Amino acid sequence: MDKLGLPIVLLAALWGAVNTTLSFFQFINARRDMMFELIDKCGYCPEQTLGPVEIYLTNLLPLTLGNIIFLYLISYVILSIPRHMKIENDEEAQRLKKACNIIAILPIFGALSFCGGAVFDLMILIRALK
């Protein structure tokens, strides 16, 4: 059971990151669509309580930043697993470190993608409201 526990933990961490990221992505896209529908309809929409800028600042941006932080934390946890494992076999320890490094690529890539998406959303919002 000792050797089986670690892959299960890694798989659970990766599944949690992917599942959460997909949920965030779906919610962020819905807010982005809502924001740009308002821009197409009425520009800044000063007569509405929640205009496009407010939706960006109160929904889209915090959700994106929260997801980026979450993905970096998951990456950190996955990358720190080898330091906390007591493996006496050096070859097995190296394989574990390599596996953790490879597995951490997905959440790191996701975080970088959401960073790029946040910058792109901001540029499009600024351009659409000019």
pLDDT in tens, 57-79: 999 999 999 999 999 999 999 99
Number of domains in the chain: 1
The token pair that represents 102 in the structure block = 């490879």
Q: Is residue 60 part of a domain?
A: yes
48 is in which domain, residue-wise?
24-128
45 within some domain? yes
For residue range 30-41, list pLDDT tens digits in order. Answer: 999 999 999 999
Q: Where are the alpha helices (DSSP H) in 43-89?
A: 52-55, 61-84
Mean pLDDT of 47-59: 91
Q: Kindly tell me the sign of the dihedral angle through the C-alpha atoms of 26, 62, 21, 118.
A: positive
Q: What is the pLDDT of residue 1?
A: 44
Task: Say if 7 falls within a structural domain.
Answer: no
| Integer Cα distance of 24 and 106 in angstroms | 15
